[in-house]
Structure 1
Amino acid sequence: MNKQQIIDAFDPSQPGLADATVFGLPFSAEQSEIIVIPVPWEVTVSYGAGASEGPAAVLDASFQVDLNHQDFPELWKLGIYMDEAPKHWGTNSEKYKALAQPIIALLESGEAVENYPDVQADLDKINEVCRELHTEVKEKVLYWMNQGKKVVLLGGDHSTPLGYYEALATKHDDFGILHLDAHMDLRIAYEGFTFSHASIMYNALQIPQISKLVQVGIRDFCEQEVAVVQQAQGRVLVNTDADLKAEVFEGKTWQQQCDAIIASLPQKVCISFDIDGLYQWYCPNTGTPVPGGLSFEQARYLFNRLSASGKEIIGFDLVEVAPGETDWDGNVGARMLFHMCGVLAKNNGMNVGQNISFQRQ
């Protein structure tokens, strides 16, 4: 069947097809407008683990997401397809995460890695393998982009989008990152790992095409990260959770704050969303939780506002979803992924249907 025949035969009101792609959709990769690249990786994790299982948790939970989204009721007709991660990504994640733990333990005991040649060799190997992953992610992203697809990334820990940003940089001369997170992620080679999850935005700043990094919801940072911000001379703008909340307490609306955030971005924007940017009850099993944060609705509103602003959304990543004993984290991740796909599609002129409005009086 061709795509229109599949659409005509599919019932979006029924549970998602268990043998189908993400959200239970019946389309092939070739028939889908949006490709999700899963990256099950968490080699440099230093606190809570589980982010490498995030893509699988989101996929499992996605089959329970109702497709009749209020903002994008016909999004499903475009097709969203989750690509298959190469098996060695998951295998290497487990192997080198185990190799990283003694290095982290040595550092936490106050020792210097360079005093232990075998440990230094392991650290060098981990950095090499992480660089290989980013190159492979870049190649996979470019493969689908060159097929005319909109491509998004689903982590894994927050180190995973570096190759994605590098791929975007081959297509766009100037773009910014809208970064929602509890952490700045501006540490330099955190714990010796060049490609640490805590260093993703520092590494992103090494890509010259990224002209602006606008951070939202930040509530944890170190002295080194503050120095990186100050030395960036306006290239990095930080909206801490404390500052945003103080403005709200004093009468500023979230709409006004969103408009100011969006105005500070360049014309082209990639969204990077670490799920711990939300209040912890949305993501109780994420790796490094911090009190405070944004609500699901605040993030949704910000993305909708960005989509309608006249800025061009060129992509997004969603990272650090970590499953627990229930499927709650995956459920939140799946619903945010679906919404962000809708935001990307609508912003890029695709037909996602008209917003469903209800009479409330």
Structure 2
Amino acid sequence: MPSKKTSAPKPAATATKAKTAATANKAKSAGKKMPNFLGLPDKNSSAGNSKVFIVPVPYEATTCYGKGTKNGPKAILEASTELERFDDELWAEPHKIGIHTTEAVSVPKVIRTTEKPFQKITDAIKPYIETDKFPIILGGEHSLTLGAVRACAERYKDLSILQVDAHADLRPEYQDNPYSHASVSYQLYKCLPQPLITQVGIRNISREETEWLEKEHPRVNIFWARQQHKWNFQEIVDTLSDNVYLTVDVDGLDPSIMPATGTPEPGGMSWNQLMELIKLVCVKKNVVAADFVELSPIKGMHAPDFLVAKAVFKLIGYRYALDLGVTKRY
């Protein structure tokens, strides 16, 4: 008996299958888990045993000049796997309090008409805030901070923001988008129940922003980079409320140590200044969450990636120094 002749698949059906497969692969890739922070084994990184939750958010939609912030989370996590897990300043191993790295949060592009901007981030962060865990978001561009702060502000009505940045980011909107990374501080100010922002390292601001500051007299404290030789970190931290959200835009650092960012500005903070600030705010205040944003990795240049990974590591140690049994002055 002659075999049945198999008809070739119709072009339309083939195209549909290919499109479906591509969509499935894209979705699988988007939800793929990134490396564990510090490359930790399960016993130090399981969700059930962790106090710290590293949340990668590779969101990029409104970057103005240099691109690549969407690659920031992966670069930071990969660099972290090569860090030493012992902190020679604290004389302790911060990872022992448990550090869980979540799957990346995929965020749709946010525009003027978006009804609930960055809601996926809010939904991802809220459970950690409600259970006294410590989420650290790895960006991604700076606009994503709004989603995390909303989650924190629901619980902490006195929440204030400590912002390390080169730019004030106080425009009501930029390029017809109120949710641009150039407008994030303005949006944060508007969403806080008791608005209070302290900015450190600012050295780029527009006339539009200064007019708003002069007219409205908002509770925005600016510590200008040009005056950093006069900074008193105790005075800076004293401007904040008891509960603090820390946001670090890496362009707040000097480009000599942080060239891997879209809009670098000369005259920024040093590593030691950043560490002193983070240390003191962790000692004096309740830092409820944090983010590190605007890293745009440069191929073949690993130092900036390691810098951010190390900053995250140091933040965890400072935040949980007492839990780690640190009793000496550091």
- Fold shared by both chains (TM-score > 0.5): yes
Q: CA deviation at 1:38?
A: 1.2
Q: Compute the RMSD of aligned alpha carbons.
A: 2.1
Is this contact kept in 2: 1:280–1:293, CA < 8 A?
A: yes
Is this contact kept in 2: 1:51–1:155, CA < 8 A?
A: yes
Q: CA deviation at 1:179?
A: 0.9
Is this contact kept in 2: 1:22–1:82, CA < 8 A?
A: yes
TM-score, scaled to structure 2: 0.82
* Aligned-partner Cα distance in 1 for 2:40–2:113: 37
Is this contact kept in 2: 1:70–1:355, CA < 8 A?
A: no
After superposition, where does 1:248-267 map in structure 2 within 5 Å? 254=231, 257-267=232-242
Q: What corresponds to 1:85 in structure 2?
A: 104
Q: CA deviation at 1:284?
A: 0.9
Q: CA deviation at 1:234?
A: 4.7
* Aligned-partner Cα distance in 2 for 1:203–1:20: 32
Is this contact kept in 1: 2:111–2:178, CA < 8 A?
A: no
Does residue 1:75 correspond to 2:75, yes or no? no
Is this contact kept in 2: 1:39–1:155, CA < 8 A?
A: yes
Which of 191, 197, 213 is residue 213 of structure 1 equivalent to? 197
List runs of 5+ in structure 1 lacking aligned partners: 1-18, 97-124, 248-253
* Aligned-partner Cα distance in 1 for 2:111–2:267: 33
Does residue 1:21 correspond to 2:36, yes or no? yes
Does residue 1:331 correspond to 2:306, yes or no? yes
Q: Which has the higher helix share?
A: 1
Is this contact kept in 2: 1:74–1:352, CA < 8 A?
A: no
Does residue 1:41 correspond to 2:59, yes or no? yes
Is this contact kept in 1: 2:200–2:223, CA < 8 A?
A: yes
TM-score, scaled to structure 1: 0.76
Change (3 A) 1:210 1:296: farther
* Aligned-partner Cα distance in 1 for 2:192–2:278: 25
Q: What corresponds to 2:15 in structure 1?
A: none
Structure 1 range deviating more: 235-244 or 71-80 = 71-80
* Aligned-partner Cα distance in 2 for 1:190–1:345: 38
Which of 220, 225, 228 is residue 241 of structure 1 equivalent to? 225
Paired letter, 1:84: E
Change (3 A) 1:352 1:202: farther
List runs of 5+ in structure 2 lacking aligned partners: 1-33
Q: What corresponds to 2:8 in structure 1?
A: none
Paired letter, 2:278: F
Q: CA deviation at 1:293?
A: 0.6
* Aligned-partner Cα distance in 1 for 2:121–2:328: 34
Three-state SS of the structure 2 residue aligned to 1:160 is helix
* Aligned-partner Cα distance in 2 for 1:20–1:292: 33
Is this contact kept in 2: 1:34–1:151, CA < 8 A?
A: yes
* Aligned-partner Cα distance in 1 for 2:160–2:132: 22
Paired letter, 2:84: D
Is this contact kept in 2: 1:314–1:344, CA < 8 A?
A: no
Change (3 A) 1:174 1:76: same
The alignment covers a number of residue pairs equal to 292
After superposition, where does 1:214-233 map in structure 2 within 5 Å? 214-233=198-217
* Aligned-partner Cα distance in 1 for 2:218–2:112: 30
Q: Which runs of structure 1 show a deviation greater than 4 angstroms over 4 or more consecutive aligned residues?
A: 354-357
Three-state SS of the structure 1 residue aligned to 2:118 is helix
Percent sequence identity over aligned pairs? 30
After superposition, where does 1:1-361 map in structure 2 within 5 Å? 21-26=36-41, 27-72=45-90, 73-86=92-105, 88-89=106-107, 92=108, 126-128=111-113, 132=116, 134-245=118-229, 247=230, 254=231, 257-309=232-284, 311-325=285-299, 326-346=301-321, 349-351=322-324, 353-354=326-327
* Aligned-partner Cα distance in 1 for 2:141–2:73: 10
* Aligned-partner Cα distance in 2 for 1:345–1:265: 20
* Aligned-partner Cα distance in 2 for 1:244–1:331: 25
Change (3 A) 1:20 1:356: farther
* Aligned-partner Cα distance in 1 for 2:263–2:123: 30
* Aligned-partner Cα distance in 1 for 2:83–2:203: 30
Change (3 A) 1:260 1:194: same
Is this contact kept in 1: 2:283–2:319, CA < 8 A?
A: no
Q: CA deviation at 1:204?
A: 0.4
Is this contact kept in 2: 1:180–1:217, CA < 8 A?
A: yes
Is this contact kept in 2: 1:315–1:344, CA < 8 A?
A: no
